[in-house]
């Protein structure tokens, strides 16, 4: 068990254990201090909030899983609003490439554990909450122990396996979950499992879990991560802020508690349907770099409720905390595992290492040839091997398909500047990590560009990543 919670929990009664403490009577007759009155006045005078809502926030605990692009802005507003206990889980350290979007960290804290960096920032914003650092990644082994201590969970992580794990734990521990994700220029947000209902209950409308909405993960080949695909800071930031917004709403109005525990001044009178809880909306944000705000920038999509057949929360589900702890289900495998990347079955003479290609170039052993770089244009623009020409992989495949379908010159898949290199000039193909380049070599041969074997078409093994590792350590590999 991970007992590495660095911060002593100062006040035991502050930690989620006794149930209705956030509901009503418990703590709601406590006086606000002068400092609290002053600090929280502008949100307390908002209709619907009041002192009652503020006390609920103060008596609540929130766990933020991930101290990155979503977790930083979410934590800022959660702390600012005065949620009483704030836990943060992350095993990474601050890196320079985080800072354009993870704006609660700081240049002076590069190399520091993200949880410590974030808590440093939050303390200077609001010293009143209790901050709890969990400076490691969430796992199937430590997850239940950590989540069980909090009232509400924010999923600010960056990979499908952890997302399914968090949702399953929230179902079993009956915790509301605010889930968001973002990549490149898109963001998504949804409130799940709120209010929580016992696993397996299907005889009345219940809120869905993550699996109810997203039954299966995408195949790994279709899965983009921020590190690989890029991310715009304001896009992920908007989603993180919206997560905090939903969390504050839920806790201040006690929407996550059963109706009877919510008390008179809860969202009284409103039916479940009006509160959109059992059929939540998925908010989609699309940010178009080439246009202004338009009609499709924000969309709210109506999702179904709990599914009878859901693996985690549905009828007769066999999912248990003990099972999860002992590796059942296997989240990594469910999400496509760490299977070796597919390869196109190239012969050894169709492949050359980055180091060998460089050495042959230096010794001028290579005839005039085409060096075809198939990374995205943005990657290419940041740096490339001297003499390389660029056609992005997707474009090349599209052009190849067009030629195969409609006819045309196979040579036309190559960029114009590569066509003059001589009919049998060898083609060397390089990509980011050496996977798409293998497929490209196979595709170029299929198009007949190898001229029946007289022209060499060669894959540079490991792509520009290998070029950086083996040849040019200063190359800006992104």
Residues that bind Zn ion (CB under 5 A): 209, 211-212, 310, 312-313
What per-residue string of b and e applies to 30-42 under the rule 16 or more CB within 10 Å gives b? eebeeebeebbee
Shortest gap between Cβ of 209 and Zn ion (angstroms)? 3
Choosing from 72, 156, 194, 226, which is the catalytic residue?
226
183 interface partner picked from another protein, Zn ion, none, CB below 5 to 8 A per type: another protein
Q: Using CB under 8 A, pick the residue from 300, 360, 366, 382 that binds another protein.
A: 300
Choose between 57 and 244: whose C-beta lies nearer to another protein.
244
The answer on whether 212 is annotated among ligand-binding residues is yes
Q: Which of these ranges, 175-183, 343-351, 363-371, 460-468, lies near another protein under the rule CB under 8 A?
A: 175-183
Shortest gap between Cβ of 313 and another protein (angstroms)? 15
Q: Which of these ranges, 29-37, 118-126, 155-163, 347-355, lies near another protein under the rule CB under 8 A?
A: 155-163
Kindly state whether residue 158 participates in binding another protein, applying the rule CB under 8 A. yes
Kindly state whether residue 24 participates in binding another protein, applying the rule CB under 8 A. no
Choose between 310 and 388: whose C-beta lies nearer to Zn ion.
310
Shortest gap between Cβ of 218 and another protein (angstroms)? 3
Choose between 355 and 410: whose C-beta lies nearer to another protein.
410
Q: Token pair for residue 55? A: 């006390």
Q: Token pair for residue 242? A: 């919206």
Q: Which of these ranges, 38-46, 52-60, 222-230, 266-274, lies near another protein under the rule CB under 8 A?
A: 222-230
Q: Which of 80, 89, 99, 375 is nearest to 236 (CA)?
A: 99
Whether 338 contacts 159, CB under 8 Å: no
Q: Which of these ranges, 141-149, 224-232, 259-267, 358-366, lies near another protein under the rule CB under 8 A?
A: 224-232
Kindly state whether residue 215 participates in binding another protein, applying the rule CB under 8 A. yes
370 DSSP β-pair partners:
427
Kindly state whether residue 213 participates in binding another protein, applying the rule CB under 8 A. yes
Kindly state whether residue 188 participates in binding another protein, applying the rule CB under 8 A. yes
The answer on whether 317 is annotated among ligand-binding residues is no
Distance CA 168, CA 140 (A): 10
Q: Using CB under 8 A, pick the residue from 13, 17, 141, 225 that binds another protein.
A: 225
Distance CA 285, CA 297 (A): 6
Separation of CA 2 from chain center: 24
Kindly state whether residue 181 participates in binding another protein, applying the rule CB under 8 A. yes
Shortest gap between Cβ of 377 and another protein (angstroms)? 13
Kindly state whether residue 438 participates in binding another protein, applying the rule CB under 8 A. no
Shortest gap between Cβ of 261 and another protein (angstroms)? 30
Q: Using CB under 8 A, pick the residue from 229, 270, 273, 360 that binds another protein.
A: 229
Q: Which of 203, 159, 153 is nearest to 181 (CA)?
A: 159
Q: Does 72 qualify as catalytic in the annotation?
A: no
Q: Which of these ranges, 18-26, 103-111, 207-215, 322-330, lies near another protein under the rule CB under 8 A?
A: 207-215
Q: Does 213 qualify as catalytic in the annotation?
A: no
Kindly state whether residue 231 participates in binding another protein, applying the rule CB under 8 A. yes
Minimal CB distance residue for Zn ion = 310
Shortest gap between Cβ of 159 and Zn ion (angstroms)? 20
Distance CA 234, CA 300 (A): 19
Kindly state whether residue 217 participates in binding another protein, applying the rule CB under 8 A. yes
189 DSSP β-pair partners:
180, 283
Shortest gap between Cβ of 209 and another protein (angstroms)? 14
Q: Token pair for residue 331? A: 């989240």
Q: Which of residues 379-398 bind another protein (CB under 8 A)?
A: 394, 397-398
Kindly state whether residue 420 participates in binding another protein, applying the rule CB under 8 A. no
The answer on whether 101 is annotated among ligand-binding residues is yes
Q: In the sheet that 370-373 helps form, which strands lie side by side, from edge to edge? A: 351-353, 457-461, 427-430, 370-373, 389-390
Shortest gap between Cβ of 307 and Zn ion (angstroms)? 6
The answer on whether 99 is annotated among ligand-binding residues is yes
Kindly state whether residue 440 participates in binding another protein, applying the rule CB under 8 A. no
Q: Which residues bind another protein (CB under 8 A)?
A: 66, 68-71, 156-160, 163, 180-184, 186-188, 213-219, 221-226, 229, 231, 236, 239, 282, 284, 286, 288, 296, 299-304, 394, 397-398, 400-401
Point out the annotated binding site: 69, 90, 97-101, 114, 158-159, 209, 212, 310, 313
Please enumerate, by residue number, every residue annotated as part of a binding site for Zn(2+).
Answer: 209, 212, 310, 313
Q: What residues act catalytically?
A: 226, 431
């Amino acid at each position: 068990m991970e007992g590495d919670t660095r911060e002593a929990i100062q006040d035991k009664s502050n930690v989620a254990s006794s149930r209705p403490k956030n509901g009503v009577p418990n703590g709601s007759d406590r006086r606000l201090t002068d400092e609290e009155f002053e600090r929280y006045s502008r949100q307390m005078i908002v209709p619907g909030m009041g002192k009652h809502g503020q006390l609920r926030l103060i008596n609540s605990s929130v766990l933020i899983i991930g101290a990155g692009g979503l977790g930083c802005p979410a934590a800022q507003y959660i702390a600012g609003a005065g949620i009483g206990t704030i836990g943060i889980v992350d095993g990474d350290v601050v890196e320079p490439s985080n800072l354009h979007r993870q704006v609660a960290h700081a240049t002076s804290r590069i190399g520091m554990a993200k949880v410590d960096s974030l808590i440093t920032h939050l303390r200077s914003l609001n010293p009143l909450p209790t901050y709890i650092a969990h400076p490691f990644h969430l796992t199937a082994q430590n997850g239940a122990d950590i989540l069980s201590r909090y009232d509400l969970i924010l999923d600010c992580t960056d990979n499908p396996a952890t997302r399914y794990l968090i949702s399953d734990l929230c179902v079993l521990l009956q915790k509301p979950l605010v889930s968001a994700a973002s990549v490149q220029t898109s963001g998504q947000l949804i409130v799940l499992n709120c209010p929580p209902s016992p696993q397996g209950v299907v005889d009345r409308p219940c809120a869905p879990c993550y699996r109810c909405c997203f039954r299966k993960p995408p195949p790994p080949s279709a899965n983009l991560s921020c590190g690989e695909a890029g991310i715009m800071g304001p896009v992920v930031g908007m989603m993180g802020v919206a997560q905090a917004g939903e969390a504050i709403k839920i806790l201040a109005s006690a929407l996550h508690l059963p109706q009877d525990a919510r008390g008179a001044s809860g969202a009284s009178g409103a039916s479940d349907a009006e509160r959109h809880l059992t059929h939540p909306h998925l908010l989609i944000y699309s940010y178009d770099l080439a246009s202004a705000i338009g009609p499709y920038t924000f969309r709210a999509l109506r999702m179904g409720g709990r599914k009878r057949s859901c693996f985690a929360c549905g009828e007769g589900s066999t999912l248990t905390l003990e099972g999860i702890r002992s590796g059942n289900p296997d989240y990594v495998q469910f999400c496509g595992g760490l299977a070796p990347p597919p390869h196109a079955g190239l012969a050894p003479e169709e492949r050359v290492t980055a180091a060998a290609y460089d050495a042959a170039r230096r010794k001028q052993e290579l005839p005039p040839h085409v060096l075809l770089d198939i990374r995205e244009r943005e990657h290419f623009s940041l740096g490339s091997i001297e003499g390389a020409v660029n056609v992005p992989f997707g474009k090349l495949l599209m052009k190849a398909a067009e030629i195969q379908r409609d006819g045309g010159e196979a040579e036309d898949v190559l960029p114009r500047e590569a066509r003059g290199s001589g009919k049998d000039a060898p083609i060397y193909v390089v990509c980011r990590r050496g996977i798409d380049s293998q497929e490209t070599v196979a595709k170029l041969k299929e198009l007949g560009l190898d001229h029946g074997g007289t022209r060499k078409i060669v894959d540079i093994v490991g792509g520009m990543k290998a070029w950086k590792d083996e040849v040019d350590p200063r190359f800006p590999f992104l």
